Structure 1
Amino acid sequence: MAVVGKHLVLVGGGHAHIQVLRRLAMRPEAKLRVTVVLDRPEAVYSGMVPGFVAGDYSREELAIDVVPLARRAGAAVVLAPALRIDAKEKSIALRERPALRYDLASLDVGSTVRGRSLPGVAEHALCTRPIVSFVDELDRRMAELGKTPRIVVVGGGAAGVELCFTLESRLRSLGIQPQLQLLTGDKRCLASYDEDVRSRIEELADRRGIALGTEELVVRVEADAVITESNRFPADLCVWASGAAPISLIEESALPKDEAGFVRIASTLQVVDHPDLFAVGDCAQLDDAPWVPKAGVYAVRQGPFLSDNLRAAARGRRLRSYRPQRDFLSLINLGNRRALAAKWGRVSVGRSAWFLKDRIDRRFVRRFSLLDGLGAPTGALPSPEEMGMEEMECGGCAAKLGGDALARALTRLPEAPPDPSVVKSLGDDAAWVTSDKGETTLHTVDAFRAFGDDPWLVGRVAAVNSISDIYACGGRPRHALAWVQLPEREGPAAEELLLQTLSGVRAALDAEQVSLVGGHTTHGDELVVGLSVAGDLAGLAPLAKSGARPGDALILTKALGTGVLLAADMKGLARGVWYREVVASMLRSNAGAARIARRFEATACTDVSGFGLAVHLSEMLEAGEVGAVLDLAAFPLLDGARELLETGIRSTFHPQNELRGASLAGRKDADHPILYDPQTSGGLLFAVPAERAADCVAALRAEGDCAANRVGTIRGGSPGGARYDLSSS
């Protein structure tokens, strides 16, 4: 994670930003470090939403997965909502983590709906923005409708009109007879369109039984009605499509804004008075073209200009001016695979217009969709190998010395001098030491190289992973020392990198009431984070790796697969939703699982980390002189892990784990690679009395370890035989 050149932060995954990322993937910009800030990993292409409403497209067909696109562009990904932009300090405030500083930044964050603060709108109406929320909620709301529902669409622009027609066609295709009512405060629908378009829409609406209510200003929404200044319209469903309004990020930022609250930008797409900050799409308004409506077509056309101007700004060169077109091809989806097309005063309606729109929309989405729904490459970009992306060694707990080499080195050390205070040292998850007063303390140390380009996330996961060893021994972590290797020696870049890393460390430790009492920094080629953690047993007996008894049930608290998912993510081969899940898993503390293990009388315990489940399990079985029968079908896997392993993707540490696992277990299971996948901040693996296993799993899931499951049974040992057997119940 060497910090070089200027730092460009792209906030949002809108239509313009995905073009910037694709161009960076095809032609990287030297000495430009890019970070993408997203509140969710996928963006929805707005042009296809009416088709989704009509039933022409699935949810997956609308989505553009920004995370793999960002990875192929060499960009870091931060999955956190942006809260505020400080253009003077050149920083971006994020939720529950420190602000990001930038040299250049761009906003492509869309908009929300106007009038959301009116009484009852947020509680009862289905708002069309944010678009992702609308898409995710629509099917559920439609499923609640009866056979003759009354539907009111508020908003007389293109979005409201399209929704009326597409809802009508979708519901009738399902055997439902809706009563559609559109409401607008304007004198006519589509006020900004030509007379020929308005007249044709009014004619088509009349044929389809869609009532157009004009000069109806809505004042509130109730559970069963929409109330205007002069009328009450009964409604089983109210869809709110009243036009665009700034989102809270824009409202909370002290930036130049127009009367409607949108960010003012120059023709170069730079924010007025802030040349290092750009804004595009619905969140911005051109000073010299205030007539430009909030429509996706303009964000799409701004993309190439934004890409060129960000490069020019990074190089200190002259920027291009964007001049929006006044007349463009307008395509309005009418449902039933028909559309209205209008340009240069000509209007046509029919299936040809729909197929034209379908072809344009699908082609746009296809250019940016690098993976299909199963995670397979689509060919939208050349493969990582074809693009010259070097094979990189994995980070996290997958970056350590192989188990065999480690074991051989330790056995060659001379025997340590006797020390009565040391109860256990090598071989368990943490060392146990007693004081002169007989109090037992636990000590462990762990470190790994960065598994990604987000230092806050790396620091936080490193801390969660380090204190897990104390929890695996049944202890309570109390104090920690941090060691951070930085690729920068001095200056603002080094300061910012250290701040982000230690903020992540503190975020994990503070939540567990573990005090960070000191540390050390050093300089090296890349970011490495380590912690030494001390804890106590709070007067309780420790949990050891040994102690499992034949008949005990084996419980695993977290899903497996972090190794292969992180390896795939480095190459842009992991879907964004998979990445989000693996991050959530790594950030989840084992504190609750450890408490439950003790409550259900665990007889042996360890945590599953970089050596993989087969090695950690074999160490537990060897320590207790027992064996096990594993139920492969019961193993919880992170989404995407199975698919990626089946394609042959492996963590760079996987082969070492396979060799070590085969050596310890007395068997090799190459057909079951998940056994050797190195886990970063993995879960606990413990044994409990069989009669308590079901209640234990239920308690773990109730605590939040939703993937927890019984994965096997302890059996008697087989001297000279395999440590464990496999079954698939």
Structure 2
Amino acid sequence: MQEHPNYQDILLVGGGHSHAIVLQMWAMNPLPGARLTLVSPQVQTAYSGMLPGMVAGHYSLEDTHIDLARLCRAAGARFIQACAHEIDIDNRTVSLLGRPPIEYDLLSLDVGATPARELPGSELAIPVKPIGHFYRFWQKLQKQVGENTSPFRLGVVGGGAGGCELSMAMAHALQGAVKKKQVEVHLIHGAAAIPQGYPVRARKLVSKEMQELGVQLHHNWNVNEITEQGVVNGSGDCLPLDQVILTTNACAPPWLANSGLSLDDKGFVVVDQTLRAQGREDVFAAGDVASFAPEPLPKAGVYAVRQGPVLFHNLRASLTGRRLKQYRPQKDFLSLLSCGGKRAVAVRNGFAAASGLMWRWKDSIDRTFMRRFSELPMDMADHTAKTKDIVDQRSGSSLSPMRCNGCGAKVGADILRRTLATLPDQHSEYLLKGVGDDAAVMDLPANHLLVQSSDQLRAPVDDPWIFGRLAALHALSDLFAMNARPATAQILATLPTAAEEITRRDLQQLLAGAIHELNRHHCVLSGGHTAEGSEMLMGLTVNGFSEREQLLEKTGARGGDCLILSKPLGVGTILAAEGAGEAKGLWLQQALETMLHSNADAAEIFARHNANALTDVTGFGLLGHLLEMLGPEGLSATLIAENLPLISGAATCIERGWLSSLQPQNANAYAFVENPQEWQPLPQWSLITDPQTCGGLLAAVPIDQAEACVGALLERGYTQASIIGVVTDAQNPEVSVHLRKSADWRALISQDNETVPGQV
């Protein structure tokens, strides 16, 4: 351990039940100086106890899922949406798909398990996990059954509690079709009775509930193969099925096989009673991925939930030198099985009962559990102050009593050297001298103009790799808006004051993210400067080239042009909601996907379709940048509200009053709107002044090119590109914008121009 053992990185890989409990408890009692990071491929994690109810139609997707991004925000933890695929326990790194590895001081794994795929033909079946994939299949299947009257045979393989609950839930949801014999639900299992591991009375009650729902049971049917016709047993008999779902024995994620950790014969991580990986002091595992020696536990969510508080204590104790707690699995616990409708079978200590009351009991327990994650305090300022207080818990001494300003605030030379050594090589035909020299030297191509721009951002996300990408794209967008080709970039980066290793890790992720985007656009890093400060900041000065005749400007629009927006609006309001701890993870995910979509292809498409003016929509909002486009030409415009593309959740954020701090200044542009009363009740009214980080491009395109231009944008992945209005000749001396709730843009041009050349 280092000199300051409490100032280190705790990395949680996987969003399972145990880690959700750790984050919830951390939100209530953070450890100053310890940085918590969650890595998960999804922004939501399913609570397994409510999944049958979701399939049956009693719960919505939101009811049954924990919002991991929001939970991390409450805990003051970083959330990184990525897939882990390799662990290097010697160098303490976890490799992530599509991005650089992330380092840790303490690692905890809660990545769950997946249905075993050793059955021949299992690739033809749908596994119940991951839940997100299964839920999309289930929605599609329900629609298919509703639209098709031909018989459909659905088979669930696996006679455990999960298979029983799932088959009853599906039979209940499809009850009308089951009664009409349009749908058959089959439960196939290799034992003589179901559910396996339950007392005789409980088995009888579950079997009775299944029969009443029309589920067809197949006892002692050992599935040897899955084919396109159905399932085949050891005797060669085939049970015809149209779709097979797997709820069979679980297996470990295959990428753990090369981790160097001690694994059991099924690939799960062997842990001791403190949840530590066998033979490791810096790795923990919990939930389904953990295997207790010498007697592994059943793969059940109830164990993962009970392991959460022990894991929370032991992660903190590992950093503060306290004694670790032991997890003692409960020998007997209340089991409540959902029975499709609002009925459940309760089992404990050999007693079993089935009724609607049991379901209401289960419903109350499940909803109470989920409220632990939805009703967390969100006092972000107070939480930040507490987690930034870097103090050694044992000595009471400050990590650094004083941090210098001026050149004394530079990031150290050793950190820079070690960071730059890990970054990918870069080559440029234009850069003669770059990183390592006092200044960059460029060789300008003949007959080209040098195009320069600078931009700086405060970090809108806690993930430094994503922030590096956003900062680079935001700066490059100014070059794209002028149809210039990027060549070189210089970076100014500010890192939060921290221990040396933390600073190095953050800088490496930050620069790697920026270079990821620079390389994608054939732009090289030519130099820069780093410093310490109170928060993470990043600025880039970017240089590009353009031939004079190819250069596009924000002015030059003409009356009769169509206004085309390449990306949706709403980044500012969603980030404001996120800062308040109120944004849903799925909203933030879509906002990030929008921001990370480069404007490079859009710029090329607009140039190819003879755009007369082009600009990027950023801090001043759509209305502010539109006025910049119109003003010098003395033009006006009409915008169509229903044509404005919006990011999912943006309208809700606006309606709830989550506005960016820049919005009041941007609102001065409303003075140029002729008829504000038509839009003021609409969310689009506020969204046209919403500041956009990495926003889209706004172009004025000739009418005869407009539809082809939008079609090209859609084909290139700008899925919400739209004609949002038209440019008109100003009727008044001053520039103005007219707003319409709905209109046909062709009609608007016809009204303003009796004859438009090339009109379609």
**TM tier, shorter chain?**
0.7 to 0.9
1:284-343 superposed Cα distances (whole Å, 9 cap, x missing partner): 1122542x2001111111111112222222322111111011211111222232221111
1:482-523 superposed Cα distances (whole Å, 9 cap, x missing partner): 222223488322221111011101111111122223222233
Structure 1 residue corresponding to 2:492, chosen from 479, 483, 486: 483
> Displacement of 1:386 after TM fit?
10
What RMSD over aligned residues (CA atoms) do the two structures have, in Å? Answer: 2.6
- Corresponding residue for residue 81 of structure 2: 79
Structure 1 residue corresponding to 2:639, chosen from 614, 623, 630: 630
Call closer, same or farther: CA 1:206–1:226 in 2, change over 3 Å.
Answer: same
Distance 1:463 1:135 in 2: 36
Question: Do residues 699 (structure 1) and 712 (structure 2) align?
Answer: yes
Distance 2:624 2:195 in 1: 66
Identity, in percent, stands at: 38
> Displacement of 1:387 after TM fit?
6.5
1:113-158 superposed Cα distances (whole Å, 9 cap, x missing partner): 01x2433222x21211112221221131244345643332211211
> Secondary structure of the equivalent of 1:242?
coil
- Corresponding residue for residue 119 of structure 1: 120
Distance 1:272 1:313 in 2: 15
> Displacement of 1:58 after TM fit?
2.6
Amino acid in the other structure paired with 1:125: A
Structure 2 residue corresponding to 1:18, chosen from 15, 20, 24: 20
Distance 2:722 2:214 in 1: 54
- Corresponding residue for residue 347 of structure 1: 352
> Displacement of 1:211 after TM fit?
4.2
Structure 2 residue corresponding to 1:271, chosen from 250, 256, 277: 277
CA contact (8 A) 1:476 1:538 kept: no
Distance 1:667 1:211 in 2: 65
> Displacement of 1:474 after TM fit?
1.3
1:203-260 superposed Cα distances (whole Å, 9 cap, x missing partner): 5555665444344332221122111211211112212111211123434533111111
Call closer, same or farther: CA 1:550–1:361 in 2, change over 3 Å.
Answer: same
- Corresponding residue for residue 216 of structure 1: 221
- Corresponding residue for residue 6 of structure 1: 8
Structure 1 residue corresponding to 2:367, chosen from 362, 377, 380: 362
Distance 2:710 2:232 in 1: 51
Question: Do residues 171 (structure 1) and 177 (structure 2) align?
Answer: no
CA contact (8 A) 1:153 1:160 kept: yes
Call closer, same or farther: CA 1:494–1:664 in 2, change over 3 Å.
Answer: farther
Amino acid in the other structure paired with 1:155: G
Distance 2:292 2:30 in 1: 29
- Corresponding residue for residue 611 of structure 2: 602
Call closer, same or farther: CA 1:35–1:703 in 2, change over 3 Å.
Answer: same
Structure 2 residue corresponding to 1:656, chosen from 649, 662, 665: 665
Deviates more, 1:511-520 or 1:224-233: 511-520
- Corresponding residue for residue 233 of structure 1: 239
- Corresponding residue for residue 562 of structure 2: 553
> Displacement of 1:176 after TM fit?
4.2
> Displacement of 1:537 after TM fit?
2.1
Call closer, same or farther: CA 1:337–1:595 in 2, change over 3 Å.
Answer: same
Deviates more, 1:217-226 or 1:189-198: 189-198
CA contact (8 A) 2:79 2:463 kept: yes
CA contact (8 A) 1:618 1:665 kept: no
Distance 1:12 1:107 in 2: 6
Call closer, same or farther: CA 1:719–1:164 in 2, change over 3 Å.
Answer: closer
Distance 2:114 2:238 in 1: 25
> Displacement of 1:722 after TM fit?
4.2
- Corresponding residue for residue 137 of structure 1: 137
Question: Do residues 381 (structure 1) and 384 (structure 2) align?
Answer: no
CA contact (8 A) 2:43 2:81 kept: yes
> Secondary structure of the equivalent of 2:711?
helix
1:650-683 superposed Cα distances (whole Å, 9 cap, x missing partner): 1122222223x35787998994221221111111
> Displacement of 1:169 after TM fit?
2.9
Amino acid in the other structure paired with 1:298: Y
> Secondary structure of the equivalent of 2:63?
helix
Structure 2 residue corresponding to 1:254, chosen from 260, 277, 289: 260
> Secondary structure of the equivalent of 1:301?
helix
Distance 1:4 1:176 in 2: 64
Call closer, same or farther: CA 1:697–1:570 in 2, change over 3 Å.
Answer: same
Distance 2:443 2:277 in 1: 63
Question: Do residues 467 (structure 1) and 476 (structure 2) align?
Answer: yes
Amino acid in the other structure paired with 2:697: L
Distance 1:726 1:169 in 2: 49
- Corresponding residue for residue 740 of structure 2: 727
Residues 384-533 of structure 1 correspond to what in structure 2 (within 5 A)?
384=379, 438-488=447-497, 491-533=500-542
CA contact (8 A) 1:434 1:441 kept: no
Deviates more, 1:3-12 or 1:600-609: 3-12
CA contact (8 A) 1:666 1:721 kept: no
> Secondary structure of the equivalent of 2:281?
strand
Question: Do residues 149 (structure 1) and 146 (structure 2) align?
Answer: no
> Secondary structure of the equivalent of 1:484?
strand
> Displacement of 1:565 after TM fit?
1.1
> Secondary structure of the equivalent of 2:156?
strand
CA contact (8 A) 1:246 1:262 kept: yes
Total equivalences in the alignment: 672
> Secondary structure of the equivalent of 1:467?
helix
Structure 2 residue corresponding to 1:322, chosen from 322, 327, 339: 327
1:574-597 superposed Cα distances (whole Å, 9 cap, x missing partner): 111111111111111111111110
Distance 2:385 2:273 in 1: 39
> Secondary structure of the equivalent of 1:274?
coil
CA contact (8 A) 1:250 1:283 kept: no
1:252-278 superposed Cα distances (whole Å, 9 cap, x missing partner): 533111111111111111111122221
Question: Do residues 197 (structure 1) and 202 (structure 2) align?
Answer: yes
Distance 1:25 1:353 in 2: 32
1:323-374 superposed Cα distances (whole Å, 9 cap, x missing partner): 0112111112222322211111111122222221121112212322x3xxxx
Question: Do residues 162 (structure 1) and 165 (structure 2) align?
Answer: yes
> Secondary structure of the equivalent of 1:342?
strand
Call closer, same or farther: CA 1:531–1:298 in 2, change over 3 Å.
Answer: same
> Secondary structure of the equivalent of 1:605?
strand
Amino acid in the other structure paired with 1:104: L
Call closer, same or farther: CA 1:164–1:632 in 2, change over 3 Å.
Answer: closer
> Secondary structure of the equivalent of 2:453?
strand
Distance 1:46 1:543 in 2: 54
Distance 1:166 1:436 in 2: 67
Per the normalisation by structure 2, the TM-score is: 0.84
> Displacement of 1:78 after TM fit?
0.7
Distance 2:213 2:377 in 1: 47
- Corresponding residue for residue 304 of structure 2: 299
Distance 2:339 2:513 in 1: 50
Distance 1:604 1:390 in 2: 46
Q: Runs of 5+ in structure 2 lacking a partner? A: 387-441, 743-760
CA contact (8 A) 1:434 1:440 kept: no
Distance 2:720 2:482 in 1: 22
CA contact (8 A) 2:230 2:238 kept: yes
CA contact (8 A) 2:564 2:721 kept: yes
- Corresponding residue for residue 429 of structure 1: none
CA contact (8 A) 1:447 1:529 kept: yes
Question: Do residues 714 (structure 1) and 717 (structure 2) align?
Answer: no
Distance 1:97 1:239 in 2: 33
> Secondary structure of the equivalent of 1:297?
helix
> Displacement of 1:459 after TM fit?
0.6
Distance 2:482 2:675 in 1: 28
